[in-house]
Amino acid sequence: MLNVGWLTVAAGIVRRDEALDKPVRLPIPAYVVETAERRILVDTGPHPGAADDPADRYGTAHALGPFRVEQDAGIHEQIDLATIDMVVLTHLHYDHAGGLAFLPSSVPVVVQRREWEAAHDDAAIARNFFLPADYDSIGKQVVLVDGDHDLLGDGSIRLLSTPGHTPGHQSVRVGEGLVIGGDVTHFASGLDDHRFPAFADDFAAQTASAERLRTLRDVGVVVRPGHDPAVLMAGPVPF
């Protein structure tokens, strides 16, 4: 896992029943998954402009809503993106898709079709705080998938449809033992307590997705939460 930034926001925005006057600082992860032949990047973190000057990057000072972004080092400063064979995006929020700006144009980017379509629909863009500047340049690179998908055709990496946080959110199962959950839950405990962020595309779908990942966790699969500071340390992922 790479740390590609930090989000600071009132605790109650990202976890139901927490205080709205207490800030929390949450890590933003990205993952490099290496197989014998492939190097796959899962999520890309925010663009440095989200931290340095959101108004300049996105054309409005309010682009990030209640969130403030910090970044010690962007994805492009931590790995050579020319060595990546493929990118998988769990979803298109700016803290996951902003680093696409540094990706060579030859690298395919795998996104759920529902996510991509929502990201080009004005009402869905508004409801989900999508920022088209993050993904407008990758149209030719996008590979759309529908629902669960065997990424390499050998069962080694499987995309799991886990909608709710956004319309076409997906999680990434690596082998038998690990699931990169994305933002199905921000915190590990969310699989049990369903204390989701105050915003979502569809809370009922998010609950069902959390139950799907909880079922996997309960049989021993390590499920990585989206932004849990108690869990998400940079370095090799133990599983």
What is the smallest separation between the CB atom of 30 and Zn ion, expressed in angstroms? 11
Residues in the chain: 239
- Give the per-residue contact string, 143-182, with Zn ion (x = CB under 5 A; - = no): ----------------------------------------
User: How is residue 84 written in tokens?
Assistant: 């990546």
Q: Minimum distance between the CB of residue 186 and Zn ion, rounded to whole angstroms?
A: 7
Binding to Zn ion, residues 175-204 (CB under 5 A): 183
Residue 106 CB, nearest approach to Zn ion (Å):
26
Say which amino acid occupies 218: D
Closest C-alpha to 74, from 58, 55, 57, 52: 52
- Here the contacts of 155-163 (C-beta below 8 Å, separation 24 or greater) are 156/35, 157/33, 157/35, 157/40, 159/88, 159/110, 159/112, 160/212, 160/213, 161/112, 162/209, 162/212, 162/213, 163/112, 163/114, 163/201, 163/202, 163/205, 163/206, 163/209
Q: How far is the CB of 190 from Zn ion (least distance, A)?
A: 13
Q: How far is the CB of 27 from Zn ion (least distance, A)?
A: 10
Find the shortest distance in angstroms from Cβ 45 to Zn ion.
10
- Which is nearer to Zn ion, 16 or 38 (by Cβ)? 16
Point out which span in 40-48, 88-96, 128-136, 172-180 binds Zn ion (CB under 5 A): 88-96
Q: Which of residues 18-37 bind Zn ion (CB under 5 A)?
A: none
Exposed (0-12), middle (13-18) or buried (19+): which is 230, by Cβ within 10 Å? exposed
Q: For residue 184, what are its two tokens?
A: 């199905």
Task: Quote the CA–CA distance of 227 and 16 in Å, as a whole number.
Answer: 15
**Are the beta carbons of 65 and 7 closer than 8 angstroms?**
no
Residue 43 binds Zn ion, judged by CB under 5 A: no
- Of the two residues 95 and 228, which places its CB atom closer to Zn ion in the complex? 95
Q: Given the rule CB under 5 A, which of 92-100, 123-131, 137-145, 153-161 is the region that contacts Zn ion? A: 92-100
Q: Which of 3, 44, 45, 95 binds Zn ion (CB under 5 A)?
A: 95
Q: How far is CA 32 from the centre of its chain?
A: 13
**Looking at beta carbons only, is 161 or 166 nearer to Zn ion?**
166
Binding site for Zn ion (CB under 5 A): 95, 183
